Chain A
């Protein structure tokens, strides 16, 4: 492509981005001469350049826009919503044509007569017609308009020859107004345009240099020659410095994408009849351009969602006592070697009850599972692929269109997404992304004589177990190896098994050897990777795998080690999926995921916990984790009352519903008489429990003890209402599931009326 055209495209695209912003700003400050002049200048420049380059169609559109703008600037017209919309569609049309030019070097065959007509009509909306505007009224006739447009372009031509690039870094306000041609030279002299490919190539070369540096450092450490050590150290420093600086050349301020958002917000808000203000903070935060590209779409998506679904309609907001104008805050900053981007809106927040219903409706979770999920777990449901497909879901649930895609895209660049919602007050989405992707710090590990690199960001800690401890501390959950780390069970994955590696010398089975565990974090899950050896941590250059290997999700890429050999970089998320630690994207439903979650919770109960032991119906030994019980109470039997078929008791100024285990649990209703005798005379023992915001009282026969025990899981749930059977103090004890008990109690309500006579 012609260099002139290329320059024109780059320059015009930059200008258009600024234009969008300026126009949106103009809307809030319609009388700003400065903004109007700047907008006018930009369009004027584009018009001039394309006249010069022969893009007549583009020129025509720019021309009518310019005319309209000049009238605005001269105060002959005042800015209305119609004019603004017209101007924005003009910008869109210009952008479309620029894209066309980019791909075909022609300004395309789109028909813009209607737009031109609209823009022309808008110009005439003032009563006063000067001689100049009178002549312009004729433009409305398309054929004639073309003639005049080109005539005027020629006439303008000396004034509007292509300007040198407006330095994108210089704020528009700095450019002196009223002189179209001249630019401040100093800014232009300090920045140059560089081809991105050149930077990429430079980055590759630096990558090579880093490798060579590593090789030389290793070599010089072996030689122990002071003559070599000095220069090596110097080389080391210089290379690091060079690497840092070259990396910086690839950095771009996040404003490159942030600046597009005021327009997005405006468009979405206008379409939905809402008023939304956007506040941007930290737009000078820099990150690698490839990452910038990667987060652009997810961010746009989130912002559109925030405006479209998060922010309520103005009257609804007023009714809730909020300002009718919604507010979205976009914030970026560096935090611990990462870039943190926050999107905070003051909208309606996310209604978890609706999410729950929708998820159940779409059979992503079963009602039982849903009832056990925490608020945060419910919120995270919107990241599930199935959740977003039907638009009905999105309309009702508020958020969710393609949030799974957002999450996937961010995670692809090793980032993370976190969602917090305060119903009625708003939603905050936090995105964390690394600064750069090309060079990373990694720990080199070995398994079966093969080396692999693990990105350091994924590593939580390293654990080494000697042979004795391997025998005692690596335990099995139904044949699956786990290790207890600070009271939590960490599932273990043997790298050699996961990758089906074979030992070069098949001497042993891996038993009776020390184990090195690399504790890794994949999304929200921790798991331990068992490897043979853990070597150094090193800076490595990530090279993508060729097309033939893209299907291998367990590897993130490859790198060349100090000795010149190639090593593969493990993809922790892929590995976790491969080992079934994480469910694999779309293929698996939440059902399984939740089942796993519950399983891991059951496993977690293998750690030492404090239990409240009591006897339930039929003298059965039962237990509840102590933290589930808020108080133990004893009431005289006479205090128990009946309300709407339910047993209740007045407790601390509230009515506490009572649940009798003998009625709730199956197959234990044989000793009704015995219970009757008890309840008539003896006081009632009640465990006051809180569950999901509700307080219930569980009536038990006798409170036995409070014990700390490891509670090894022995069986799966024996019956409904029981979490599982465990061994506490060497006796089989049933662990109560409060949520389930509550559910059954609710279902059995009519039934519980019969024995209510007991208290009469």
Chain B
């Protein structure tokens, strides 16, 4: 029997995304964000997660999607990392899904650009496709271009 994996799923602009469950520390509702002047555009700010300061990365911006409407409160998917936690700001949280390795397919050749290195591939679920994120890559925001182009 093929191996199965558990994914924590969430939505961005109606697209379904998933990260491996083991990497997720917790999922939490909206937290107040302190903006960081001059920070890369992708970094939305800092949040206080029970005394722990967590950097919020706007996945919509990271994935070159349109910004969510101003009144929408993003949810947090907190990712555990060696050098402290990072939170992915997402539109909505989905279920935990268990998928079979068979259903995986790498991204099509036609997917190009910045996004290609963050999306490992998709799992073909019954109703829709779940995009599998490379969490490490998704956290890499402070690239040279980002910092030099600090304008907002």
Contacts and interface: CB of A to CB of B under 8 A. Distances in A.
A546 B47 CA distance: 12
A568 B36 contact: yes
Contacts of B57: 548
A549 B43 contact: yes
Contacts of A554: 37-38
Contact of A500 (B38, B43, B84, B142): B38
Contacts of B48: 560, 564-566
A633 to B, nearest CB: 59
Interface in A524-549: 543, 545-549
Given A558-B53, A566-B53, A552 B47 contact: no
Contacts of B54: 546
A208 interface: yes
Contact of A450 (B35, B38, B139): B35
Given A500-B152, A501-B37, A548 B53 contact: no
B113 interface: no
A653 interface: no
A568 B34 contact: yes
Contacts of B43: 548-549
B34 A211 contact: no
Contacts of A564: 48
A548 to B, nearest CB: 5
Given A565-B48, A566-B48, A568-B46, A548 B34 contact: no
A566 B51 CA distance: 9
A550 B142 CA distance: 8
A501 B39 CA distance: 12
B74 interface: no
A556 to B, nearest CB: 13
Nearest to B146: A551
Contact of B39 (A450, A543, A552, A560): A552
Interface in B120-142: 139-142
B32 interface: yes
Interface string A291-325: 00000000000000000000000000000000000
Interface in B40-87: 40, 43, 45-48, 51, 53-55, 57, 83-84, 86
Contact of A565 (B34, B140, B151): B34
B16 to A, nearest CB: 25
B86 A546 contact: yes
A546 B142 CA distance: 10
A499 B45 CA distance: 14
Contacts of B47: 566
A661 B150 CA distance: 53
A567 interface: yes
A555 interface: yes
Nearest to A578: B38
Given A499-B37, A558-B46, A566-B47, A548 B32 contact: no
Contacts of B46: 558, 566, 568
Given A208-B51, A500-B152, A551-B147, A546 B38 contact: no
Q: Which of B35, B37, B45, B150 has the most A CB atoms < 10 Å from its CB?
A: B37
A565 B53 CA distance: 10
A567 B36 CA distance: 9
Contacts of A565: 32, 34, 48
A211 B53 CA distance: 13
Interface in A468-510: 499-501
B68 to A, nearest CB: 20
A549 B55 contact: yes
Contacts of A450: 34-35, 37
Contacts of B150: 500
Interface in B7-51: 32, 34-40, 43, 45-48, 51
A555 B51 contact: no
Interface residues of B, number: 29
Nearest to B37: A499
Given A565-B48, A568-B46, A552 B36 contact: yes
Nearest to A499: B37
A550 B141 CA distance: 11
Contact of A549 (B36, B51, B151, B152): B36
Q: Which of A548, A551, A558, A567 has the most B CB atoms < 10 Å from its CB?
A: A548
Nearest to A545: B55
A525 to B, nearest CB: 21
A515 B150 CA distance: 27
Contacts of A555: 36
A567 B45 CA distance: 10
A552 B83 contact: no
Given A499-B37, A566-B46, A568-B36, A548 B152 contact: no
Interface in A510-529: none
Interface string A28-45: 000000000000000000
Interface string A192-219: 0000000000000000100100000000
A499 B150 CA distance: 10
A444 to B, nearest CB: 13
Contacts of B36: 549, 552, 555, 568
Contact of B141 (A211, A543, A548, A568): A548
A548 B55 contact: yes
B37 A547 contact: no
A543 B53 CA distance: 7
A560 B53 contact: yes
B44 to A, nearest CB: 11
Interface in A556-579: 558, 560, 564-568
Contacts of A568: 34, 36-37, 46
A453 B51 CA distance: 17
A546 B51 contact: no
Nearest to A209: B51
Contacts of A552: 36, 38-39, 147
A208 B54 CA distance: 15
A568 B43 CA distance: 14
A566 B49 CA distance: 10
Nearest to A447: B37
A551 B143 CA distance: 9
Interface string A161-199: 000000000000000000000000000000000000000
A546 B55 contact: yes
A135 B115 CA distance: 74
Contacts of A543: 53
A551 B141 CA distance: 11
B112 to A, nearest CB: 24
Contacts of B140: 548
Nearest to B139: A548
Contacts of B83: 546-547
A523 B79 CA distance: 38
Contacts of A208: 51
Nearest to A550: B142
Which 8 A-B residue pairs are closest in the complex by CB-CB distance? A499-B37, A566-B34, A546-B55, A566-B46, A551-B147, A208-B51, A548-B141, A548-B142
6 contacts: A208-B51, A450-B37, A499-B38, A549-B142, A551-B142, A558-B46
Interface of B: 32, 34-40, 43, 45-48, 51, 53-55, 57, 83-84, 86, 139-142, 147, 150-152
Given A450-B34, A546-B83, A558-B34, 13 more contacts: A499-B38, A500-B37, A500-B152, A545-B55, A548-B55, A548-B139, A548-B142, A552-B147, A554-B37, A558-B46, A565-B32, A566-B46, A566-B48
Interface of A: 208, 211, 450, 499-501, 543, 545-552, 554-555, 558, 560, 564-568
